[in-house]
Amino acid sequence: MSELKNIFERICSQALKINDGTLARYIPELANVNPEQFAIAAMTVEGECISYGDDKSLFTLQSTSKPFTYGFALEERGEELVHSKIGVEPSGEAFDSIIELEKKTHRPFNPMINSGAIAIASMIQDKANNVREERVLNLFSELAGRQLDFNRDVFLSEKKTAHRNRAIAHLLRHFEVIGDDIEESLDLYFKQCSINSNVKDLAAMAATLANNGVQPSSKKRIYTEENTTRMISLMFSCGMYDSVGTWAYTVGIPAKSGVSGAIFGVVPGKMGIACFSPLIDSHGHSLKGVYAIRELTKQLGMNIFK
């Protein structure tokens, strides 16, 4: 672990030299964050966690939440129902593509892009005394190993300006991928995106996937092994959107990014790694985060094809 700290330090000093990228201004509240922040963390499947940099800074999960709600829907509604509405193919398009649904079935291509994630949100149901947004917050709190909260300002900011996601949701309604609860499904989707966490929380979520669905600190099983494998597989083929081929080729681990500058990778059977740095590229990936996770994977020899 002390070797890992040295590697973190070296990667951080190199990453800080990268100054390209922009804040995700299309969600107005995300334009207010300090662009200089950088944090990296890893949690092993034994539950040991190590972090470096701004590891107390909070950020919203944004699209890094998508694999976890996908897994939740698999657990709750079953594979057959989930995939009767959502495919398992990379779309080759940006995360917010509005035109791309599968030709014959009109399903979203996969649960890692906005259309698929909104469809997933529509499948998560209220339970007695526990409305679905609370159930989703509980899920993420269990994954992180501590109580998390929604960032209300980011939630409201996205809700107010989400014309594109709203258009996607109406298209999904038109093709009967989702029902009449369009606004409710969008709200739940914006809420999962607005969950506040730090880089250690995200590493713990990633480590749960590395550990076959069992949270390494609490030892609580959150996903079945089968569903965990499904989540990681789709992260590998679709998690980095239209740059997933380059990612797979150069990094070689399943990963997921979010426009807040959060990014995480899963090294099955070994560890979860996470990075946060807000300046993103045109695909919506943190530039420093991509560099950091690529370097870490390389330096630890963790490419899964190696």
| Interface positions with ligand GLN (CB under 6 A) | 62-63, 95-96, 114, 158, 165, 193, 258-259, 284
Q: What tokens appear for 269 in the block?
A: 């059977």
Smallest separation, CB 121 to ligand GLN (Å): 11
Contact 38, 54 (CB under 8 A): yes
- Reference 42, options 18, 66, 11; nearest CA is 11
Give 259 or 271: the residue with its C-beta nearer to ligand GLN. Answer: 259
- Reply yes or no on whether 157 is catalytic: no
Minimum CB separation of residue 215 from ligand GLN in Å reads 23
Q: Least separation, in Å, of the C-beta of 71 and ligand GLN? A: 17
- The CB-of-139 to ligand GLN minimum distance in angstroms stands at 17
Asked if 188 contacts 133 with a C-beta cutoff of 8 angstroms, the reply is yes
CB of 278 to ligand GLN, least distance (A): 12
The catalytic position among 157, 241, 244, 266 is 241
For residue 40, which of 297, 301, 304 has the smallest C-alpha distance? 297
In the complex, which residue's CB is closest to ligand GLN?
A: 63
Catalytic annotation on 241?
A: yes
d(CA 160, CA 27): 9
Burial class (CB in 10 A: 0-12, 13-18, 19+), 261: buried
3-class SS at 91? coil
- Report the alpha-carbon distance of residue 245 to residue 179 in Å, rounded: 33
The amino acid present at 257, given as its one-letter code, is: S
Q: Which is nearer to ligand GLN, 52 or 140 (CB)?
A: 140
Query: Considering beta carbons, is residue 63 or 122 the nearer one to ligand GLN?
Result: 63
Q: Which CB sits closer to ligand GLN, 62 or 227?
A: 62
Residue 193's nearest CA partner among 142, 136, 272, 233 is 136
Burial class of 140 by CB neighbour count within 10 A (0 to 12, 13 to 18, 19+): buried
* Residue with smaller CB distance to ligand GLN, 30 or 73: 30
Instruction: For the CB of residue 46, give the shortest distance to ligand GLN in the complex, in Å.
Output: 30
Please identify which of the residues 66, 200, 256, 270 carries the catalytic annotation.
Answer: 66
Residue with tokens 């420093």: 288
Residue 214 phi, psi (nearest 5): -105, 125
DSSP state at residue 1: -
Of the residues 33, 45, 52, 63, only one is catalytic, namely 63
List the catalytic residue out of 177, 214, 259, 290. 259
Residue 38, both tokens: 């950088």
Q: For residues 63 and 116, is the Cβ–Cβ distance under 8 A?
A: no
Annotated catalytic, 63? yes
**CB-nearer residue toward ligand GLN: 133 or 302:** 133
Which residues does the annotation mark as catalytic? Answer: 63, 66, 189, 241, 259
